[in-house]
């Protein structure tokens, strides 16, 4: 652990965000700008998961700069650092969907490992030339996942910062690799980095390949709700704005070289999540011809290597930095369903074109089963 702990005090220098056009990144950028915390430069390649429309409301702001580009492009990253002289890099850019990492792991290794390596090298070169308060305040915040810790049995204690890494999917392995690189760059080169490992997020702007927005989108159209295996896998859900606030807290007060676990303390089985979503849709769309939506559930062939349970112990972040999740799962999920209902145009835009190919690729090979037991 290192003692440099000046925090990012200078509110006028920009931050460089990577992957800011994705789900968490765009929520973070909107939240940051709304809080008046200073300019943001957003470097995003705009893969299928990146959507500049998420940031339409800040596009014209003098505090917002968008750069379309790849984090693997070292010259570009170096140029952006020299040009904008950010006080922090907040690194979201990644390939993030487990099912895609199973059908095509290459992009995960490239962006999540090589991309993080490229950023670390450029950040190191930039940091080494900083002096005074610019140097003391600089931070590299690496946004990672609880999936690096592997899977839990029903009675296992929740993941804490010292839980050994045991990634099971190509996605988790690539994120674990990136975490190890960040750790090494702190330890060996003195880069003032901090890692956060967060549980499953949900909320506005999440691409409908992930469980919650996929189920909402399918239910609205009367399509089957594909529950993998027996639906008893457990995830620990966190409303995305609570995650964004945790990241701000860590940037302001987190200790360099430390890891902070972020989680909502909302463990739910996938089936419970789908049931709650269906009940909310029954209530909020009383005229729907697909009520009761729960009848759309279809058990389908499980995901290979499917992790059974994730749970986060966030006591370090809560005790040391005073962060607390503000949304309960019930309030957060209601807000989320309301957002998707009010933004059906956004859903239509992102689910046209290439999305349909993904749905065909991921779901057409999965057999539908009459019961959860048969789908196991």
Question: What are the residue numbers of the active site?
Answer: 146-147, 171
Q: Which residue spans within 125-246 are E strands per DSSP?
A: 139-145, 193-198, 201-202, 225-228, 234-236, 238-239
| Cα separation, 160 vs 118, whole angstroms | 28
- 251 and 90 in contact (C-beta within 8 Å)? yes
In the region spanning residues 291 to 350, those forming contacts with ligand TYD, defined by CB under 6 A, are: 303
Only one of the segments 60-68, 210-218, 286-294, 323-331 lies at the binding site for ligand TYD (rule: CB under 6 A); that segment is 210-218
Decide: is 210 part of the binding site for ligand TYD (CB under 6 A): yes
297 binds, among ligand NAD, ligand TYD, none (CB under 5 to 8 A by kind): none
In the region spanning residues 339 to 358, those forming contacts with ligand NAD, defined by CB under 6 A, are: none
Decide: is 239 part of the binding site for ligand TYD (CB under 6 A): no
Decide: is 227 part of the binding site for ligand TYD (CB under 6 A): yes
| Cα separation, 231 vs 302, whole angstroms | 9
- 120 and 181 in contact (C-beta within 8 Å)? yes
- 261 and 179 in contact (C-beta within 8 Å)? no
| Cα separation, 34 vs 45, whole angstroms | 24
Nearest distance from C-beta of residue 278 to ligand TYD, angstroms: 14
235 binds, among ligand TYD, ligand NAD, none (CB under 5 to 8 A by kind): ligand TYD
In the region spanning residues 101 to 120, those forming contacts with ligand NAD, defined by CB under 6 A, are: 111, 115
Sign of the torsion formed by the C-alpha atoms of 155, 172, 71 and 352: negative
Nearest to 235 by CA among 262, 265, 213, 268: 268
Nearest to 141 by CA among 39, 19, 13, 52: 19
Only one of the segments 56-64, 139-147, 162-170, 367-375 lies at the binding site for ligand NAD (rule: CB under 6 A); that segment is 139-147
Task: For residue 18, list its beta bridge partners.
Answer: 43, 91
44 binds, among ligand NAD, ligand TYD, none (CB under 5 to 8 A by kind): ligand NAD
Only one of the segments 1-9, 76-84, 142-150, 332-340 lies at the binding site for ligand NAD (rule: CB under 6 A); that segment is 142-150
Query: Which CB atom, from 126 or from 228, has the smaller least distance to ligand TYD?
Result: 228
Task: Tell me how far apart the 2 most distant CA atoms of the chain are, in Å.
Answer: 65
Q: Which residues contribute to the site for ligand TYD (CB under 6 A)?
A: 98, 200, 210-211, 214, 226-228, 233, 235, 270, 303
């Amino acid at each position: 652990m290192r003692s440099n702990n000046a925090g990012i005090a200078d509110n006028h220098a920009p931050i460089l965000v990577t992957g800011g056009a994705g789900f968490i990144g765009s929520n973070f950028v909107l939240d940051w700008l709304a809080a008046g915390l200073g300019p943001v430069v957003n470097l995003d390649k705009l893969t299928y998961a990146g959507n500049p429309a998420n940031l339409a409301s800040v596009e014209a702001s003098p505090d917002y700069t968008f750069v379309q580009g790849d984090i693997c492009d070292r010259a570009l990253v170096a140029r952006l650092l020299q040009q904008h002289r950010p006080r922090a890099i907040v690194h979201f850019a990644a390939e993030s969907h487990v099912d895609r990492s199973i059908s095509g792991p290459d992009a995960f290794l490239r962006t999540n490992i090589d991309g993080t390596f490229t950023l670390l090298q450029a950040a190191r070169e930039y940091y080494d030339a900083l002096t005074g308060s610019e140097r003391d305040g600089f931070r590299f915040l690496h946004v990672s996942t609880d999936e690096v810790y592997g899977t839990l049995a029903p009675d296992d204690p929740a993941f804490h910062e010292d839980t050994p890494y045991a990634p099971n999917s190509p996605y988790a392995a690539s994120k674990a690799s990136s975490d190890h690189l960040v750790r090494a760059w702190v330890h060996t080169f003195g880069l003032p980095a901090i890692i956060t490992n967060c549980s499953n997020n949900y909320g506005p702007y999440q691409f409908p390949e992930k469980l919650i927005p996929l189920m909402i989108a399918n239910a609205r159209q009367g399509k089957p709700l594909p529950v993998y295996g027996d639906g008893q896998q457990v995830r620990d859900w966190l409303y995305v704005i609570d995650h964004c606030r945790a990241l701000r807290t860590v940037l302001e007060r987190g200790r360099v070289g430390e890891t902070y676990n972020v989680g909502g303390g909302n463990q739910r089985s996938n089936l419970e999540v789908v049931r709650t979503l269906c009940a909310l849709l029954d209530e909020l769309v009383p005229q729907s011809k697909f009520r009761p939506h729960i009848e759309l559930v279809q058990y389908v062939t499980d995901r290979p290597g499917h992790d059974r349970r994730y749970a986060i112990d966030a006591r370090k972040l809560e005790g040391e930095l005073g962060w607390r999740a503000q949304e309960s799962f019930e309030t957060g999920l209601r807000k989320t369903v309301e957002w998707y209902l009010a933004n059906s145009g956004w859903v239509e835009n992102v689910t046209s074109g290439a999305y349909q190919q993904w749905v065909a690729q991921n779901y057409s090979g999965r057999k539908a089963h009459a019961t959860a037991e048969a789908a196991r």
